[in-house]
Amino acid sequence: MAEGTAADAFAALLRELKDRSGLSYGVLAKRLHMSTSTLHRYCNGDAVPTDYAPVERLARLCKASPTELVELHRRWVLADAMRGSRKGAEVSEAAPVGEGPVSGGAGPVVEVSRGFRPPSRRAAVLSGVALVAVLGAVAFAVNPLSDGAGDQGRHSPVGSASQDDRVSAPPTETSPAPSAKDTESGGESITPSVSPSVSRTGGDDAGPPLTVATRPYTWEGPCSQHYLIDEPSTKVPPPPFEQDATAWVSAEGAVSAGEQLLTLTVQGTGEQTVVLDKLTVHVVGKDTPPAWNDYVMGVGCGGSVPTRPFTVALDAARPAVVAGSGQSDFPLKVSESDPEVLRITADASAYDVRWYLELDWSSGPRKGTLVIDDGGEPFRTSGNNGRPAYEFPLGGEEWVESPEQGS
pLDDT band at 4 (very low <50, low <70, confident <90, very high): low
The predicted structure's pLDDT at residue 173: 32
pLDDT level of residue 197 (50, 70, 90 thresholds):
very low
Residues 266-293: what's their mean pLDDT?
A: 94
Q: Could you report the per-residue pLDDT of 245-258, keeping only the tens digit for each?
A: 999 999 999 999 99
Give domain limits for the chain: 3-94, 157-401
Give residue-wise pLDDT tens across range 30-62: 888 788 888 988 999 888 988 788 888 888 889
What 3-state class would DSSP assign to 247? helix
Residue pLDDT, tens place only, 121-136: 444 444 444 444 434 4
For every residue of 288-350, DSSP letters joined together read: PPP--EEEEEEES---PPP--SEEEETTSSS--EEEPTTPPPSSEEE-SSS-EEEEEEEE-SS
Higher per-residue pLDDT: 179 or 320: 320
Which residues are 377's β-sheet partners?
A: 374
Residue range 3-94, CATH number: 1.10.260.40
Phi and psi of 227, rounded to 5°?
Answer: -135, 140
